[in-house]
Amino acid sequence: MALNPAYLRKVPHFDTAFGRGYGEEVDWCQKTRALGGVHLCQHGLFVEHRGGSSFGSAEKATLISDHNRMISGRYPDYDRDVQRFIASDPIRTARLSLGLAWVGIAGVPVPVILAHSMGGGAGMVLKRRLERICATGGAAVVLRVGGARRWRIELHTALGQTLGETDTFDLVETLLAPIDRRALVYSCGVGDPDPVALPEALLSLYRPGRDTLEVAFHDYFPISPSYCLLDGDAVYRGLPSGNTADPVHIAHRPDGRPVPLSDWQTSWGRLIAEADRIEVFSGASKALVAGVWPDYTDRIVISPHRCGAHPERLAPRPDGAIGVLGNIGLQKGAAVVSALSRRAAGHGRRVVVIGAMDPGFPVGDGTIVHGTYDPDEIGALARRYGIGAWIIPSIWPEAFSFTTREALATGLPVIGFDLGAQAEALNAASNGIVLDPTGPEDAAGRILAVLDGRRARAA
């Protein structure tokens, strides 16, 4: 701490009420502030401070506790000012820059992961990955899109997290410059305002021969702006054609210019072409990616996720409730659940959604929407609500389905559609039942017919 001589003349001493230490510099700063002094941080200057050497730990704790009370008594606004400074964080850019430089000189590749801000399965997988990295003393950078600013830069280390936001990619490049070796990863870019430019942004950070580049398919955003591959009428009809006129498969730049699907796939194809590893999480997903970029099939690696939850095995209940697992929106089959819930009572059943339900899809009387749940609670919740079978109503070919595997692990019958990773898991399990995808009302009728048949056979 450097003290201005002009203010030293005005307040020439530390208050001896603070004894040997802790709090006297705060008291001096508060007094000079009241005299018009301004406190500055010079973040371009490095001063090494080896803490804890002046006092023993017990004496230090006592001094801090006693002297903090003195400061709060003398300056009632001080604690609030500290919290306001922490919240506004005016030296965030400097701390982030120094942190990135610090991890960059470690001599090991630093993961730099482009991710979205939407949570979900990809968010959960990323969270676990970051926890593993930090638990072993490593560090990782997340470039997150879809927030208030275009780029949110997060530095994750075992010591904590530092972050900043900017709309300027030049600043991102400057901040990452000290990282000598980068392990670049595309996780998901959904929510970015100009996603067709994301491949070029990642490639500008990639230095062949020094860095590695991985593209992961948690969904199918590189294939189409409709990242679940649904057409405009919310139906999956296979891989969309590059010359399609369906507006959901046509992106728009921030200035309004349209991006035909062929141009979209060309842009993302440049990233795919440079990737050392193309990671998918199911055989069904590999087939879709290879259908668009067959020249790079040899780089596609199937790496199924590990499910963290291990639900208990449950006894069969042929007359039980119909369980729906997960947060259900349009692509997750909300229309199917809505139709099923309105017809279930006529078959002597009720529908229970373990998760949230899109309010735009009304449910029938007697349907229960449990809301947020922890995967470890699945077995207990199934017993609580008397669930006898599960449905996985998703209408898109999922890249991987945690809920399908969690439902199957209970041992109860699980019904889903012949689509993507969910069908792959259902076909591999003795308690999986696969139906051809159709419209919501027809699908609801066929689900109820399957369950009615099982109840009749059990009787």
Residue 229, token pair as written in the block: 């591959």
Round to whole Å and give the CA distance between 352 and 328.
Answer: 12
CATH number, domain at 197?
3.40.50
Q: Angle formed by the axes of helices 92-104 and 169-176, to 10°?
A: 40
Domain assignment of residue 307, yes or no: no
Domain boundary among 88, 123, 158: 88
**pLDDT, tens digit (0-9, with 9 covering 90-100), for 399-439:** 999 999 999 999 999 999 999 999 999 999 999 999 999 99
Residue 222 predicted with pLDDT over 90: yes
By the 8 A CB rule, do 27 and 57 touch?
Answer: no
Note whether 199 and 70 are same-domain residues: no
Residue 378, token pair as written in the block: 């699945």
Note whether 275 and 340 are same-domain residues: no
Domain assignment of residue 316, yes or no: no
* Structural domain for 74, as ranges: 5-88
Note whether 435 and 418 are same-domain residues: yes
Note whether 388 and 403 are same-domain residues: yes
Domain assignment of residue 133, yes or no: yes
Note whether 161 and 55 are same-domain residues: no
By the 8 A CB rule, do 340 and 448 touch?
Answer: yes
Number of folded domains that form the chain? 3
Residue 297, token pair as written in the block: 């099939």
Note whether 294 and 154 are same-domain residues: yes
Note whether 113 and 163 are same-domain residues: yes
The DSSP bridge partners found for residue 258 are: 252
Domain assignment of residue 270, yes or no: yes
Q: What is the mean pLDDT of residues 240-244?
A: 93
Domain assignment of residue 108, yes or no: yes
Note whether 409 and 385 are same-domain residues: yes
* Global pTM exceeds 0.85: yes
Round to whole Å and give the CA distance between 435 and 447.
Answer: 8
**pLDDT, tens digit (0-9, with 9 covering 90-100), for 68-117:** 999 999 999 999 999 999 999 899 889 999 999 999 988 899 999 999 99
**pLDDT, tens digit (0-9, with 9 covering 90-100), for 105-154:** 888 999 999 999 987 888 889 999 999 999 999 999 999 999 999 999 99
Domain assignment of residue 314, yes or no: no
CB atoms within 10 A of CB 73: 9
Note whether 176 and 164 are same-domain residues: yes
Q: What is the mean pLDDT of the chain?
A: 94
- End-to-end Cα separation, the chain, in angstroms: 82
Note whether 227 and 284 are same-domain residues: yes
